[in-house]
């Protein structure tokens, strides 16, 4: 049974299956205020939960989710997977959007075809500590994820450390997410660009995939991200 809505665990918010949501944080405490409730809500709902953590040991997240070995038991049962960012993104020794997309597709399809879970929720954190990705590759990864997200009942939340990413990089990355988590709300992104639009702009630029941002979009993102 495909769920109609997915509880995010934050402020009573919900998402639709197939949603790709961008959130920002400043420091580990703010990150955990989103990440931990999101995973707890998924575990309580019986969802498959995958967390890719940057800058924190996976075992620390598992311990936070379930003191006394409760979450460890869930990892043994494959409902919960907490993966270090370098293990996920640097399997071949370098960060490659195509390679990561292939790994994600395999992981999600395996989880769904097993028939054990009705939905998958994924949270990725980016703090530029364990992994410092090429920004063009990261932009392409976030953009291309939108092609396969509707294929399965899944919600993906990408969390970026505002202190580690410049405003220009954040604006470009946000443009690849249809929705944003900000100020206790999930809002539609009026400046979202589809994967084809991102690729077209990349071709126009010739020198890379950094997207030319309009003044209106830049001001909107600035207003949103600063509340």
Please report the pLDDT score of residue 1 as a whole number.
45
Q: Tell me whether residue 180 is exposed, middle or buried, using C-beta atoms within 10 angstroms of its C-beta: 0 to 12, 13 to 18, 19 or more.
A: buried
Using 50, 70 and 90 to split pLDDT, how confident is the model at 201? Answer: confident
pLDDT tens digit sequence for 49-107: 999 999 999 999 998 987 666 777 877 778 999 999 999 999 888 899 999 999 888 88
Using 50, 70 and 90 to split pLDDT, how confident is the model at 207? Answer: very low
* Domain annotation for the chain: domains and CATH numbers: 6-225 (3.40.50)
pLDDT tens digit sequence for 145-157: 999 888 889 999 9
- Write phi, then psi, for 139 (nearest 5 degrees): -60, -45
Collapsing DSSP to helix, strand or coil, 50 comes out as: strand
Please report the pLDDT score of residue 192 as a whole number.
92
- Residue 9 CA to residue 222 CA, distance in Å, equals 26
- pLDDT surpassing 60 at residue 205: no
Please report the pLDDT score of residue 20 as a whole number.
96
Q: How many CB atoms lie within 10 A of CB 199?
A: 15
pLDDT tens digit sequence for 117-171: 888 999 999 999 988 888 889 999 999 999 988 888 999 999 999 889 877 788 8
Kindly state the percentage of the chain with pLDDT values over 70.
90
- Residue 88 CA to residue 82 CA, distance in Å, equals 10
Mean pLDDT of 182-196: 89
């Amino acid at each position: 049974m495909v769920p109609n809505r997915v509880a995010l665990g934050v402020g009573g918010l919900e998402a639709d299956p197939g949603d790709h949501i961008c959130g920002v944080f400043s420091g580990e405490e703010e990150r955990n205020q989103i990440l931990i409730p999101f995973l707890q809500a998924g575990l309580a709902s019986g969802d498959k939960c995958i967390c890719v953590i940057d800058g924190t040991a996976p075992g620390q997240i598992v311990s936070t989710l379930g003191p006394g070995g409760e979450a460890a038991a869930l990892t043994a049962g494959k409902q919960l997977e907490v993966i270090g960012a370098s293990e996920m993104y640097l399997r071949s020794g370098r960060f490659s959007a195509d390679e990561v997309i292939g790994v994600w597709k395999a992981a999600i399809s395996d989880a769904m075809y097993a028939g054990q879970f009705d939905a998958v929720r994924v949270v990725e954190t980016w703090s530029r500590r364990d992994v410092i990705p090429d920004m063009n590759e990261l932009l392409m990864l976030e953009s291309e994820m939108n092609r396969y997200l509707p294929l399965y009942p899944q919600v993906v939340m990408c969390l970026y450390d505002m202190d580690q990413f410049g405003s220009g990089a954040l604006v470009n990355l946000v443009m690849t997410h249809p929705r944003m988590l900000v100020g206790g709300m999930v809002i539609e992104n009026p400046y979202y660009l589809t994967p084809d639009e991102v690729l077209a702009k990349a071709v126009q630029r010739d020198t890379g995939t950094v997207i030319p941002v309009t003044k209106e979009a830049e001001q909107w993102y600035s207003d949103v991200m600063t509340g």
